[in-house]
Amino acid sequence: MSEDKHIQPPGNLVGRDVLTLLDFTTDEIQDLLTFSEQLKEHHKQYGQSQLLQGKSLGMIFENASTRTRVSFEVGMTQLGGHSLFLSPRDMQIGRGEPIKDTAQVLSRYLDAIMIRTNSHETVEELATHSDVPVINALTDLYHPCQALADVLTIKEHKGSLDGLKAAFVGDGNNVANSLLVACAKTGMDAALAVPAGYEPDDKVWKEIQQTAEENGTNVELTNTPQDAVKDADVIYTDVWASMGYEEEQAKREKAFAGFQINEALCANAKDDFIFLHCLPAHRGEEVAASIIDGPHSAIYDEAENRLHVQKAILASVME
């Protein structure tokens, strides 16, 4: 604990909301990644720190969670702070209280608010009315905490991000959106392969393209998985039916036929590619067991890194 002086947040992110990585510069993202590495090493050497001693995080969950809830709760504990699990079923927001009122009241109790919900507009409205930082822990459009953990994992396995190519095969969802933004801002090219009709939101895709152009990287959208994974350093996928789309399972299984990450598809990638998945995974559906449980898989490093990047975010945005 006495070694906290060796790890200090970047200093330029205090009070910032974390709604999408589009709001962060390349330097700010690199600072968060470096700080994540420092916190990871610090915990291995010294254990718990006191960077957030006396601070409280409110965690609003409208959706089920394993990694997000545990990593945020443990992260606050490891930083010397406190977290509160807030279910809409137990809050007045679940009975129709305006988001504005909830945001204003929670701001007087808490030092930051984390929310996992469906509509990205809900997170934006919460941030508009909150006087403390709001962290997006997943919406229908973005999953910035996951994307930071993804690029940290790639950096650990590859040594550098510059010039790498990441391929996402599957649904053009929140995970794909945030991954492509993170790649574009950290020097990586990216390709997204989706079945026709499952492309990202038009506005989001235009923002991704603009981000890549501004950062001198390349993003590609295709309906052919083999084209996306050609010479890829990283292959990524997610479940075909994300939360909220479970009733489309049968329809999506038919639409996504041919998009499974398996040995034949991965033969198009570089020999030393790594495989990522945000989890939970359906072996035999979006990914073959031989890949997700094979030597190229880095899924558990990726899951662990959720803890470290979120600690970096928490310690950086709180006063």
Binding residues for carbamoyl phosphate: 65-68, 92, 116, 143-146, 278-279, 306
Per the CB < 8 A criterion, the answer to whether 158 and 274 are in contact is yes
Token couple for 262: 């398996």
Place of tokens 């990202």: 200
Q: What residues contact 99, with CB distance under 8 A and at least 6 apart?
A: 93, 122, 125, 126, 129
306 is catalytic: yes
* Among 184, 319, 181, 164, CA closest to 234: 164
* Among 275, 271, 270, CA closest to 302: 275
Per the CB < 8 A criterion, the answer to whether 10 and 31 are in contact is yes
238 is catalytic: yes
According to DSSP, residue 145 is labeled H
Element (H, E) at 237: strand 234-237
- Which residue among 278, 296, 308, 310 is the active-site one? 278
210 is catalytic: no
266 is catalytic: no
Amino acid residing at 73: E
Per the CB < 8 A criterion, the answer to whether 151 and 21 are in contact is no
- Which residue among 140, 306, 308, 310 is the active-site one? 306
- Which residue among 42, 43, 120, 143 is the active-site one? 143
- Which residue among 116, 277, 296, 308 is the active-site one? 116
In angstroms, the CA 160 to CA 186 distance is 10
Bridge partners (DSSP) listed for residue 134: 113
**How many other CB atoms are there within 10 angstroms of residue 230's CB atom?**
14
Q: What number of CA atoms fall less than 13 Å from residue 253's CA on the CB side?
A: 7
131 is catalytic: no
95 is catalytic: no
Per the CB < 8 A criterion, the answer to whether 178 and 146 are in contact is yes
- Binding positions are 65-68, 92, 116, 143-146, 174, 238, 242-243, 278-279, 306
- Which residue among 31, 78, 111, 146 is the active-site one? 146
**How many other CB atoms are there within 10 angstroms of residue 67's CB atom?**
19
- Binding positions for L-ornithine are 174, 238, 242-243
- Which residue among 238, 252, 260, 308 is the active-site one? 238
Give the catalytic positions in this structure: 116, 143, 146, 238, 278, 306
